[in-house]
Amino acid sequence: MKLSQCAISAAAVLGFAALIQTPPTQAAASAATAVGSCLANTTEADVNLRKRPLAIRNEGATAVYVSCAAQYGFNPQVVESATVVAINTNAAPVEFTCTLVDGALIASDLIFFYPKTITLPSNGAAVMNWFASDNGGTTFTGFENFSCLLPPGVEINIVGFTYY
């Protein structure tokens, strides 16, 4: 192959790579079921967690901490919100608490913690959202992780975030 043909081929490959790395111009979502995104924070806590195709559920008698990582989106430039969807299978409402851990261990001074508590209705679902407006208008980093205290009879179904 001639040098000029190699240069043209390389330019075409680089041009295509730049094109596919262009961030989306409208909002997109990166979401996944919790069973592939969440783990108990200890092996002892894992004993009471049931991992089903659509959720991870606490079937024990005490609350356990679960850590979840949202799947990284396609080249997120600005993350607008983060989300956890949970279902309460109990006959009474329960408090559900999660902390959005925003950032990566690349620089510990760039990790932010945003705790939130909601009430899950009896035998019902609720969505826990974090918006940029919740933290003074600052958008998130693109590395969204969650630490949730999962009460007995509660399951996490989806974790994710929206971005553009």
Domain extent, residue 126, equals 23-163
Domain assignment of residue 14, yes or no = no
Measured between alpha carbons, how far is 119 from 147 in angstroms, rounded to an integer? 17
pLDDT tens, position by position, 102-155: 887 776 678 889 999 999 999 999 999 999 888 778 888 878 899 999 999 999
pLDDT tens, position by position, 6-43: 333 333 333 333 333 444 456 777 788 888 888 998 88
Domain assignment of residue 69, yes or no = yes
What is the DSSP track for 31-54? Answer: EEEGGGTEEESSHHHHTTEEEETT
Q: Are 115 and 99 in contact (CB under 8 A)?
A: yes
Domain assignment of residue 13, yes or no = no
Q: What is the CATH classification number for the domain harbouring 79?
A: 2.60.120
Domain assignment of residue 120, yes or no = yes
Inter-CA distances, 41 with 26, 49, 73, 112, 144, Å: 35, 11, 24, 19, 17
Domain assignment of residue 81, yes or no = yes
Select from 154, 156, 158, 160 the least CA-distant residue to 61.
154
Q: How many domains does the chain have?
A: 1
Domain assignment of residue 143, yes or no = yes
